[in-house]
Each structure stands twice: as C-alpha cells, then as structure tokens.
C-alpha cells in the first residue's frame, strides 16, 4: 500500500513533482467520493423518513421497525465500504514506469503496469459539465506491444497528468532489439 509520507498531500492527490527516485501517487477525484456519499445518504434519509412517517401513524409492528433499522445499518456499511474501495484506486508514477490499480469491489482489483518506453500515446478526456468545472477526466494510456491500454476514470487534472506522462515517456530512451 502506498502512502503520502514525504509528499505534498492535497485531498485525494499525493504530489511529488520532481519524480527523482520517488513515486507520484494520483488518487481519484474527490467529486466521485462526494457522489458516492450523497447517494448513500439519500437512501439513508429515505429510510429514516419512511420509518418516521409509519412510526408516527403507528401502522407497522415493532419487528418491521427492527428490520428497517437493520437495513439502514447495512446501507450505511455498504456506503462506507464503497467509499473505501473508491479511495483505493490510484496511479503511481515512478522512475521505472506507471502502475494503475483500479478497484471494482472490496475483493477484486485490476493492476496494470507499463514501463515508460512502452507508452505510445496518452489521452485525457473531460466530458460533462461537472468534469469541466471541477477539473477531472479519464486518462487513457496506450501501450506498445501486446499489453492492454491502461485507463482510469475520475483523474484530477487529467490534462496536466497527460502532459506529464507524455513528457516523461518522450524523455525515456526506447529499447532496440537486434535481430
């Protein structure tokens, strides 16, 4: 697990601009975290309002209220786990190359690694009003050879990181194979 020790920590983004012998860790944008929390809180609020209205009218039995309470706790725990999983995804830039870890669930993640000399093209897309206003986007790194392309969504300052990755890849000598 990577930490931000010794690096400038700005919210969900750890920055070390010089990249001399250290790694730069880029975490997903805070807006995705806010959306996850807002969705979970909206479901919680709907459950609380449903319980309050039915309790005030006295229409349900105590067992139903206990069941709704358990559902509220499960929804809260699911929201907390989802925010934790969202926070685990990262891009790590080192002197050797790029490592992107995308977590889909608590138990399933995809990790892709690429050396700098294997980077062919880097694209950054910012689609939508919120992405434009808040400065996040999707980063797509196209690699040489048989490797899959590397993609991460909700990257803060995607255009900046595209330029940074392209510059680092261009400055790295390519491997030559003799036949």
Q: What is the mean pLDDT of each run of 10 residues along the chain (179 residues)?
A: 44 49 89 95 92 80 86 94 95 92 92 90 91 93 82 94 93 63
Rounded CA separation 48/65 (Å): 10
Residue 10 has a pLDDT of 45
Residue 33 has a pLDDT of 93
8-28+89-171: which CATH number, 1.10.287, 2.30.29, 3.30.70, 1.10.1060?
2.30.29
Residue 20 has a pLDDT of 57
Tally of residues, the chain: 179
Three-state SS sequence of 80-146: HHHHHHHHHCEEEECCCEEEEEEECCCCCEEEEEEEHHHEEEEEEECCCHHHHHHCEEEEEEEECCC
Sheet holding 150-156, edge to edge: 119-125, 136-143, 150-156
Residue 51 has a pLDDT of 83
How much is the pTM? 0.74
Instruction: Answer for the pair 142, 121: CB distance below 8 angstroms, yes or no.
Output: yes
Please report, for the chain, the start and end positions of each structural domain, with discontinuous segments joined by +: 8-28+89-171, 34-84
Put residue 11 in one of left, alpha, beta given phi > 0 → left and psi -120 to 50 → alpha. left
Rounded CA separation 58/144 (Å): 66
């Amino acid at each position: 697990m990577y930490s931000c020790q010794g690096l400038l920590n700005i919210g969900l983004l750890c920055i070390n601009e010089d990249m001399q012998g250290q790694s730069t860790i880029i975490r997903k944008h805070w807006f995705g975290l806010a959306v996850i929390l807002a969705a979970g809180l909206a479901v919680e609020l709907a459950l609380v309002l449903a319980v309050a209205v039915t309790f005030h009218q006295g229409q349900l039995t105590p067992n139903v209220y206990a069941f709704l309470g358990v559902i509220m706790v499960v929804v809260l725990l699911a929201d907390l786990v989802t925010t934790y999983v969202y926070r685990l995804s990262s891009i790590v830039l080192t002197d050797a190359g790029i490592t992107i870890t995308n977590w889909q669930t608590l138990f399933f993640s995809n990790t892709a690694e690429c050396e700098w000399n294997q980077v062919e093209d880097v694209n950054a897309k910012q689609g939508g009003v919120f992405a434009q206003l808040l400065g996040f986007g999707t980063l797509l790194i196209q690699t040489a050879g048989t490797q899959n392309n590397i993609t991460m969504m909700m990257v803060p300052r995607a255009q900046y990181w595209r330029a940074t990755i392209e510059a680092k890849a261009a400055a790295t000598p390519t491997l030559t194979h003799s036949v």
